[in-house]
Structure 1
Amino acid sequence: MQKLTHINSTGEAHMVDVGGKAITERSATAEATVTMQAETLQLILEGGHKKGDVLATARIAGIMAAKKTGDLIPLCHPLALTSVAVELIPKPQEMNVLVRATCKLSGKTGVEMEALTAVTVASLTLYDMCKAVDKTMTITNVKVIEKVGGKSGHWQLSSD
């Protein structure tokens, strides 16, 4: 097992020095699932929510969050993202919304944390906008599903 990169030789937390790393094209995709009552999802899809367009608001929140990851997560580098795409995919048969985010940049460090931050904040926004009508919602299965670039190359979560 590899050692933790954010812990130095004396056990203290520190920001990893990426100064010597090569600039490469990097991307990461993460996803989460927001499960709700069928009536809640129908309300969202019909655009009948009093607070407005739930999916559009959650998408914008996810994009904004990805851009603020370095301010939110200790020891994360502030990154100059070149792209953040957030998809909210309603799945009425499963009574959920799949939230997926892909972040990209040309840089010296990966963007997994930005993708994870985007999906979690988009999911939390969806929850916040609908909690008055559905207190049973859950946010689950938050995970990185793909990463490209850097020393480790291309990695994809197996579907096993």
Structure 2
Amino acid sequence: MARKSSAKQPAAEKPAAKLSHLGAGGEARMVDVSGKDTTERVAVAEGHIVMQTETLDIVLNGNAVKGDVLGAARIAGIMAAKRTHQLIPLCHPLPITKVAIDIEPDHRLPGFVVQATVKVTGQTGVEMEALTAASVACLTIYDMVKAVEKGMRIEGIRLLEKTGGKSGTYRAEGHEPNEKSSKG
């Protein structure tokens, strides 16, 4: 009689997802989106910049030496979204129709929560543009107040939501869309 092994058998492996930016030989390539339908596509991304309460107060009171910290961060985020294809090698240049950067203080961090919403009517999504916008807005806040505090942390850069295209809607676990992000 054959003895049964007490070790658990590994679960059947799922087939690996095909990475669209890799060719058959593993070489990087830009995806051909010419056959995709043109649809409205929206992506929302966020990031947090964590700082000391004193630094947060300086920004909120408008006392930063370099000037309007949050205004500069909003403009930088918008500019970054529009130039994502120049920063991320395999991104397509897109005719972006909307970029909104919302920055809210969060005393629990303490710091700011940055949310970037990007919209396009096109053949590919704007997830990278939203992620880039949120990242650069956070970096700009850092740059504007680094003379006060060099130990700030940028955390939690992530995609919250995307709509449109063949893959449909994605929403990060626990994320509920707000009116600002869902309005055109």
Identity %: 55
Shift of 1:124: 0.4
Summarize deviations over 1:21-44 as a string: whole Å, max 9, x none.
000000000000000000000000
8 Å CA contact 2:74, 2:102 repeated in 1: yes
- 2:57 and 2:107 map into 1 onto residues whose CA distance is 8
The answer on 1:97 being equivalent to 2:112 is: yes
Shift of 1:118: 0.1
Bigger-Rg structure (1/2): 2
Which residues of structure 1 form unaligned runs of 5+? none
More divergent stretch after superposition (85-94 vs 50-59): 85-94
SS at match of 2:96: coil
The answer on 1:74 being equivalent to 2:89 is: yes
SS at match of 1:60: helix
* Alignment match, 1:64: 79
- 2:107 and 2:149 map into 1 onto residues whose CA distance is 15
Shift of 1:60: 0.3
RMSD between superposed Cα atoms in Å? 1.0
* Alignment match, 1:46: 61
- 2:80 and 2:69 map into 1 onto residues whose CA distance is 16
- 1:128 and 1:73 map into 2 onto residues whose CA distance is 22
> How many residues end up aligned between the 2 structures?
160
Mapping for residues 1-160 of structure 1, pairs under 5 Å: 1-159=16-174
Specify whether residues 11 and 93 from structure 1 end up closer, same or farther in structure 2 by C-alpha distance, changes over 3 A only.
closer
Matched residue type, 2:173: S
- 1:92 and 1:131 map into 2 onto residues whose CA distance is 19
- 1:110 and 1:125 map into 2 onto residues whose CA distance is 25
- 1:155 and 1:117 map into 2 onto residues whose CA distance is 18
| TM-score computed with the length of structure 2 as normaliser | 0.85
- 1:3 and 1:132 map into 2 onto residues whose CA distance is 45
| TM-score computed with the length of structure 1 as normaliser | 0.98
Q: State the 4+ residue runs in structure 1 displaced beyond 3 angstroms.
A: none
More divergent stretch after superposition (107-116 vs 92-101): 92-101
Matched residue type, 1:14: R
Q: Which has the higher contact order (CA 8 A, sep 6+)?
A: 1
More divergent stretch after superposition (86-95 vs 143-152): 86-95
SS at match of 1:94: coil
Shift of 1:108: 0.2
Shift of 1:92: 2.0
SS at match of 2:108: helix
